[in-house]
Amino acid sequence: MTDANAQETFSGTKPVEDRHRFDETALFAWLTQHVEGFSGPLEVRQFKGGQSNPTYQLVTPSHTYVLRRKPPGKLLPSAHAVDREFRVISALNTIHFPVAKAYALCSDEAVIGSMFYVMDNVEGRILWDTRLPDAEPAERRAIFEAKVDTLADLHLADYAAIGLADFGKPGNYFSRQIDRWSKQYRASETQTLKPMNFLMDWLVETTPVDDQTTIVHGDYRLDNMILHPSEPRVVAVLDWELSTLGNPLADFSYFLMQWVMSSAERSGLAGLDLQAMGIPSLEETVERYCARTGRAGLPNLDWYFAYNLFRLGAICQGIAGRVRDGTAASPQAVAMGERVLPLAEAALSFAKKAGARTSD
């Protein structure tokens, strides 16, 4: 899928899909009781984007809200943690980090059939094409710089001071992540892929020592943020499902992936004339992040790129597994399974650059 198609496919709302309908009367009663200032009548629509946790727009005459819920049906352990999303957003509200205002969490599955939370509907632009085709070079640069600065600010936040000291386990983040995604990959496996099997072993053997613990977002990219309607400024970071305490280099190297992915791929920048487009180079981006966070530099990026591609492959396999189990929340989920092998092969190429020796 191209970025232009993604913008059209995932932007905006649609009527609620039959498989994601729920008792709107029960929701209305709950909102009236738990969301301060709420009053009807209520119109419920479903956002087109977001294939993991179904997301809805709640429209009233005086205010618009967003509801995110766990999908109904069989789920992988630890997946779709909307309660964790609600917790981290609520904590970040207290330091004015750009996230939507969190209103209330409902853990009673009897209300609409699964756990959910309600937050503010932030007005602005959600863009799906990393190349920002409608922007002038100066605005492109400013948007990229804002994305880097916002991520750096997240990593600088004092997580203990805002009540998130137990939001994750400090240290050994990469080891725990490799173990987590390996288990989820195996739980969702639909075919044997040699590159994935090699990577699961090699990454464990070569994991760098964790040097820092911060809040990590886990899926920091352009379409998981809302930009100001007219300014090159991030007004809300979205989709905190994978957030935890961990190594900030996991977050930042994931963000850097767009520079090494082919421009033939969705959101890839490799091979483009970035200078003419106004997009900072990979080196400039690393320098800006390091300056803002006080780092001297980032060694061995190839290992981090291999890790991130492996992780993406495991995530795509998880979505393919949900297609198999009938719980995927988007028709686009079907295509995710086809991405696993190319991602694994790309990860293996970076692993080789980082020193991996394979038998083939």
pLDDT tens readout for residues 216-246: 999 999 999 999 999 999 999 999 988 999 9
Q: Under 8 Å CB-to-CB from 36, ≥6 apart: which residues? A: 103
Q: What is the DSSP string of 298-335?
A: ---HHHHHHHHHHHHHHHHHHHHHHHHHT--S-TTHHH
Within 8 A by CB and 6+ apart from 2, the residues are 266
pLDDT-based confidence at 321, cuts 50/70/90? confident
Look up the CATH superfamily of 137-353.
Aminoglycoside phosphotransferase (APH), C-terminal lobe (3.90.1200.10)
Q: Which of 282, 326, 318, 285 is nearest to 302 (CA)?
A: 282
- Cα(325)–Cα(301) distance, integer angstroms: 36
Per-residue pLDDT, 79: 54
How does residue 1 score in pLDDT terms, banded at 50, 70 and 90?
very low
What DSSP character marks residue 242? T
Q: CA dihedral in degrees (77, 237, 294, 207; nearest 10)?
A: 20
Residue 331 has pLDDT above 70, yes or no: no
Q: Of 132, 143, 125, 140, whose CA–CA distance to 4 is shortest?
A: 132
Residues in Cβ contact with 252 at an 8 Å cutoff, skipping those fewer than 6 apart: 151, 155, 289, 298
Q: Residue 49, by phi and psi: left (phi above 0), alpha (psi -120 to 50) or beta?
A: beta
Q: Specify the pLDDT at position 20.
A: 87
Under 8 Å CB-to-CB from 105, ≥6 apart: which residues?
Answer: 82, 83, 86, 115, 116, 117
The CATH number of the domain covering residues in 3-120 = 3.30.200.20
pLDDT for position 10: 53
Q: Where are the domain boundaries for CATH 3.30.200.20 in the chain?
A: 3-120
299: burial class by Cβ within 10 Å (0-12, 13-18, 19+)?
exposed
Residue 360 confidence (pLDDT) above 70: no
> Bridge-partner residues for 81, per DSSP?
none
Residue 355: pLDDT above 80?
yes
Residue 134, pLDDT above cutoff 70: yes
Q: Is the pLDDT of residue 73 over 80?
A: no
- Decide if pLDDT at 332 tops 80: no
Average pLDDT over the chain reads 89
**Partner residues linked to 245 by β-bridges:** 215
- Give me the pLDDT at residue 191, please: 80
Q: pLDDT tens digits for 248-274?
A: 999 999 999 999 988 887 789 999 999
Q: Tell me whether residue 352 is exposed, middle or buried, using C-beta atoms within 10 angstroms of its C-beta: 0 to 12, 13 to 18, 19 or more.
A: middle
Look at the chain and count its residues.
360
Confidence category of residue 53, pLDDT binned at 50, 70, 90: confident
CA-CA-CA-CA torsion sign (80, 248, 167, 65): negative
Q: What is the pLDDT of residue 9?
A: 45
Whole-angstrom distance, CA of residue 23 vs CA of residue 44? 11
Burial 309-333 (b: 16+ CB within 10 A, else e): bbbbbbbbbbbbbbbeeebbbbebb
Say yes or no to pLDDT of 80 above 70. Answer: no
Handedness of CA 38, 41, 43, 44 (dihedral sign): positive
Note the pLDDT tens digit of each residue in 278-294: 999 999 999 999 999 99
Percent of the chain topping pLDDT 90: 69
Within the chain, strands assigned E span 13-14, 43-47, 55-59, 64-69, 102-106, 116-120, 214-216, 225-227, 234-237, 244-246
Q: What are phi and psi of 77, to 5 degrees?
A: -60, 140
* pLDDT, mean of residues 176-191: 90
- The pLDDT tens digits of the residues spanning 188-220 come to 887 888 999 999 999 999 999 877 999 999 999
Locate CATH 3.90.1200.10 in the chain: 137-353
